[in-house]
Amino acid sequence: MLLGKKRSGSVCSKTGCSLKETQKRCWPTWMFSLSSALALFWFLIRVIPKPSRALYPCQRAAFPLASGFVIWLMGGFGSVAAIHKARCSLKKSRYVQWLLLVAVSVGSVWLAVSITTKPNLFADAPAPNSPIGAPKGIHPGRVVWVHDPEATDWDGPGDGHWWESSHTNQSVVSQMMSRAVQSLTGNPNDKAAWESLFKHFNTMHGKGDVGYQPKEKIFIKVNFVGCIQIHSRRPVTETSDYDLKSQDYMNTSPQMIIAILEQLVDRVGVKQSDITVGDPLCYFANEYYQMCKARFPEVQYLDYLGKFGRTAVKQSSVALFWSTPDAAGKKIDHIPESYVQAEYLINLANLKSHNDLAGVTLCAKNHYGSLARKPAGQDDYYDMHKNLPRILPGMGHYRPLVDLMGHKHLGGKTLLYLIDGLYAGKHAKDRAPKKWNSIPFEGDWTSSLLASQDPVAIDSVGFDFLYMEWNDAPHWSGANDYLIEAAMADNPPSGTFYDPDHDGNVVRLRSLGVYEHWNNPIDKQYSRNLGSNKGIELLKLADDITGSQVSVVNRK
């Protein structure tokens, strides 16, 4: 009998199971504890000596497991400590204190479990070097990244303001713009570069192999969301020339605006009065306006109200139709008159995450400001925000950003896509930009400019930068869904019939560009950098950027 019991295995007095069965049941718990402890140890010994390593892929993978382990331990220790004190209170007949300590003990366990087992609202890392969609541009899928730390010299809030000429170097920014357009087209000077851009655009739009023609109008869409005309915010003082209230918010820099105006007026020969620059839903703040107008007094500076010398936004009769049944019965959106009258658009966005709803806000999201819905009440219009990833997470959903990217008077007219990355930040979480820790910034401002002819490619690169630097909003599930929908607009995962130009399904959008995730945040290489004839090509214009494919072009 004794031998028989021994062979059958001992029995655990607590579970009633054999010890082998108990060991099998406990094995996953021990594995979790061991792997979590190792992840914490690995994270600490690698990141403490060099904090920028926290952005490495292996550390990004280790951090959730390590942090979950710490939370689990704290909850367990807190629960045990509370129970121990509760026993002492019960012995002393302190029943109220005993009851509170029991509640603390239970609450500690519940909180730890709820935090470590809550539904995952964050997306898995995008697969590297798996391009989808049809690349656009003279050099298909090319994105130029210019990084020059000499452009920025600001110590942060309290040291004046980032947009002041003493803190942002106009000559360096202008040189960055020059390098960007030259490298994007492969031309040795600015004039030839713009000639190539205009000829390529006109050829692709059936206008023939012609460059810019006199009297053709150009609209430059900037991002002044820090000056948005929402009555509850009042970002400027309407009675005193629109003076800024939030002085350090991450709007498009006046230096970038001046740099693109220099290119158009001084290199291309566009008449100042044929150029309009602004953000229809926002104010053109006095501080920016004075700097731009002093250099280019005859340019039309557009904003929501048109006071103090600005041009007021006006609606045209051209409609935008949302490709979703949710827009049925809503007021029809219309494109601003300045967009319709223009032959060309330039999309000058900002490098920002969007910690409210969208995850990221780049060139596509820049057009949320293009629809100046007047009168101010917007409840009767389709809510563009309800399909953003914070409200509708996951992949394969209708995304209104694709309609904006594909409309013939918005994305359809865009000659050039630019992302101002001089001072990147988090909208609308922060009131000022943040220095970055990832390579090559290493605790400095991003001091960058991105340029492309491909709207999907440039936002893909911008997304990768934001995903690399911050672990919050850019990692939301669905933050990059609009890029996949746009790349596959002719057959999107959501099944949406994207057709923003018509009231009903008439002509489905074609692929709007190419989407891809780089190989890693150190080398930042896309498929074309690795020798493929597919995907994105990232040209890096700086001597201090880590990785291959560092390009230097002739400076004008």
- Segments forming the whole domain that contains residue 90: 14-117
Residue 481 placed within a domain: yes
Residue 124 placed within a domain: no
Judge if 167 and 288 occupy the same domain: yes
Q: Check pLDDT > 90 for residue 252.
A: yes
Distance (Å, rounded) from C-alpha 409 to C-alpha 42? Answer: 52
**Confidence (pLDDT) at 294:** 98
For residue 78, report the phi and psi dihedrals to the nearest 5 degrees.
-65, -40
77 sits in which H/E element: helix 57-91
Q: Check pLDDT > 60 for residue 113.
A: no
Judge if 140 and 105 occupy the same domain: no
Distance (Å, rounded) from C-alpha 510 to C-alpha 456? Answer: 13
Task: Please give the average per-residue pLDDT across 377-393, as a whole number.
Answer: 87
Of 82-91, 137-146, 380-389, minimum mean pLDDT range: 82-91
Cis amide bond preceding 433, omega within 30: no
Task: Please give the average per-residue pLDDT across 477-485, as a whole number.
Answer: 97
Q: Check pLDDT > 60 for residue 551.
A: no
Return the SS3 of 498.
coil
**Confidence (pLDDT) at 97:** 72
Distance (Å, rounded) from C-alpha 4 to C-alpha 144? Answer: 76
Q: Alpha-carbon Rg of the chain, whole angstroms? A: 28
Domain end position, chosen among 57, 85, 117: 117
Residue 409 placed within a domain: yes
Q: Check pLDDT > 80 for residue 142.
A: yes
Q: Check pLDDT > 80 for residue 287.
A: yes
Return the closest-CA partner of residue 256 out of 139, 416, 435, 444. 416
- Number of domains comprising the chain: 2
Residue 6 placed within a domain: no
Q: What percent of the chain has pLDDT over 70?
A: 74
Distance (Å, rounded) from C-alpha 232 to C-alpha 532? Answer: 51
Judge if 80 and 213 occupy the same domain: no
The two tokens of residue 230 are 């929402």
Judge if 104 and 151 occupy the same domain: no
Strands (E), 255-297: 275-278
Q: What is the DSSP string of 511-539?
A: ---EE---S-TTT---GGGGT-SSS-EEE
Judge if 233 and 352 occupy the same domain: yes
Judge if 376 and 431 occupy the same domain: yes
Task: Please give the average per-residue pLDDT across 98-109, as a whole number.
Answer: 65
Task: Please give the average per-residue pLDDT across 327-354, as a whole number.
Answer: 96
Q: Check pLDDT > 60 for residue 472.
A: yes
Distance (Å, rounded) from C-alpha 253 to C-alpha 423? Answer: 9
Task: Please give the average per-residue pLDDT across 138-142, as a whole number.
Answer: 98
Contact 426, 473 (CB under 8 A): yes
Most confident of 377-381, 386-390, 399-403: 399-403
Q: How confident is the model at residue 100 (pLDDT cuts 50, 70, 90)?
A: confident
Contact 319, 403 (CB under 8 A): no
pLDDT in tens, 174-217: 999 999 999 999 999 999 999 999 999 999 999 999 999 999 99
Judge if 319 and 462 occupy the same domain: yes
Distance (Å, rounded) from C-alpha 114 to C-alpha 117? Answer: 5
**Confidence (pLDDT) at 52:** 46
Mean pLDDT of the chain: 85
267 sits in which H/E element: none
Domain end position, chosen among 89, 117, 145: 117
C-alpha dihedral over 396, 401, 406, 410, to 10 degrees?
180
Q: Check pLDDT > 50 for residue 12.
A: no
Task: Please give the average per-residue pLDDT across 82-93, as a whole number.
Answer: 69
Judge if 179 and 309 occupy the same domain: yes
CA distances from 162 to 254, 290, 375, 447 (A): 10, 16, 34, 12
Cis amide bond preceding 492, omega within 30: no
Q: Check pLDDT > 90 for residue 24.
A: no
**Confidence (pLDDT) at 236:** 75
For 491-527, b/e burial (b = at least 16 CB within 10 A) is ebebebbbbbbeeeeeeebebbbbbbbbbebbbbbbb
pLDDT in tens, 29-38: 455 556 656 7
Residue 470 placed within a domain: yes
Q: Check pLDDT > 70 for residue 68.
A: no
Q: Check pLDDT > 80 for residue 312.
A: yes
Judge if 51 and 185 occupy the same domain: no
Q: Check pLDDT > 70 for residue 539.
A: yes
Q: How confident is the model at residue 462 (pLDDT cuts 50, 70, 90)?
A: very high
Alpha helical stretches, state H, 9-56? 19-47
Q: How confident is the model at residue 484 (pLDDT cuts 50, 70, 90)?
A: very high
Judge if 152 and 284 occupy the same domain: yes
Judge if 105 and 137 occupy the same domain: no
Domain end position, chosen among 85, 117, 149: 117
Residue 385 placed within a domain: yes
Q: Check pLDDT > 70 for residue 106.
A: no
Contact 339, 319 (CB under 8 A): no
Return the closest-CA partner of residue 420 out of 267, 137, 220. 220
**Confidence (pLDDT) at 22:** 44
Return the SS3 of 308.
coil
Distance (Å, rounded) from C-alpha 248 to C-alpha 496? Answer: 40
Return the closest-CA partner of residue 440 out of 516, 518, 523. 523
**Confidence (pLDDT) at 99:** 73
Judge if 160 and 202 occupy the same domain: yes
Most confident of 62-76, 295-309, 362-376: 295-309
Return the closest-CA partner of residue 74 out of 100, 101, 108. 108
Residue 201 placed within a domain: yes
The two tokens of residue 191 are 């004039």
Partner residues linked to 27 by β-bridges: none
Q: How confident is the model at residue 13 (pLDDT cuts 50, 70, 90)?
A: very low
Residue 240 placed within a domain: yes
